[in-house]
Structure 1
């Protein structure tokens, strides 16, 4: 009897240990290892190109010399940051970055939401697909190509807008060299380029809405606008909140490709942003340590914005509508 009791006890213990093992994260990853392998290329990409280069951030705290290398260069602490904060040119660049990013957020963030709502209301499937395809296409075109197109489009001599202005008896405008118009060009072209691509997430959110909700609202006499305001938008709210948090975190992260290919010295005062400033300081003037300090400061501000925005979203709407 004692032997049987011991065997039964050991069996129960083994079963308990087995259940504990199955509840571990490692077991879950091992069970679905074939699916886990699919994410390895993405993990390797971020490990090599995102986390690996972080080793070089120490350059911001050193007097980096190419011949001495990163480890052999002399530590100078926060000397580059102290110098950075004393430069008027840096604060001008910082202001330009914030202003341009705010304009892009104000006009660019709601644009895909509105466009997704409009596409959702289309009943002609073929026309809807055609509009989606046309709106997605600019996202896949490089800013190098688009910059050439926009340079011709906004040209004061052969651009269609200025030809129209001349026909109306008005003076032509050199949009890409006019400090009053350059930011408008940056914001409008950025919204146009990413409008269709940004709608993908919102269209996916719209596809998950229960059709019975619309049927019930229609039976109750709700018109199309009322259904959008009381069913569609509230159902999209979690996705909108998460995208807003991510967008706020990007307020300091400007688009280097766009600005670099469109700006010129005539509009530096309103168009020079952090990434182009880092490029000139680091790769043109070879001030590697100073450029790294600027980049580290910019990323620190971006991280702080994400944390603050996520905290506010969690306080206002709960954990289900925040990133973590």
Structure 2
């Protein structure tokens, strides 16, 4: 039995879950007109800048094609929201371009439910998009508003480098999620949570907005992403890997490779940010789940030390090409 057509699909699985705006022109959460027209009509918050970002997730590249569609949807939105968190932007609206090999209600229902529940959790509204037939891919564009954006290009030599929470869990989890290794039920649950449910670091970004000089989220691995701050600020970095907060799951699944995994594995979606040394005490007093791991320097490149000796990682982080 064939699945719903394009417009029936949109009405049944998305419009009904994201009722926003009205034909009368009354705005709801800044949405004057949402899903169902040629364009959404949106009202930006007064006195704030709009921040927008877009990511495409491709089946068997960014998520397993045979994975739980509920979790796939949640992950797809969360990793995009992480970009807003890194910019210190409040989530407002998003659009979805969904390419499907088949119009399958058994896949669409949990996908749409996962998307709607995650959107509700983070206070962001679907306002439009597109559906088409082809290899499974998910493109989400998020828009938020910020008064004090955290950019990549504001750092200075001597600034302290911080990361939030722990690193390496998602990369260590990937072989488990793909079914390539067998682990205990507890580790299986931890791995699936680490991979499918990254937590955008909105609270950390808000707390450090008055102190941070630069920031980004860690998606392709700390080494690669810190390199973006260095490039944008025309600096280098000195890292002390003895201070690197390596996730317990990385230690348990990766053993001797745990530090390498935390440094280059990617998919953490934690915050990496820099703080001038004069703000060190104020930032530490915030009692956030953050760790200082080094400092920026005038010399280009990133240099790592481990146990007091120079250490060269085998990889540099994820690259698409």
TM-score, normalized by length of structure 1? Answer: 0.21
Q: Which has the larger radius of gyration?
A: 1
TM-score, normalized by length of structure 2? Answer: 0.22
Greater helix share, structure number: 1
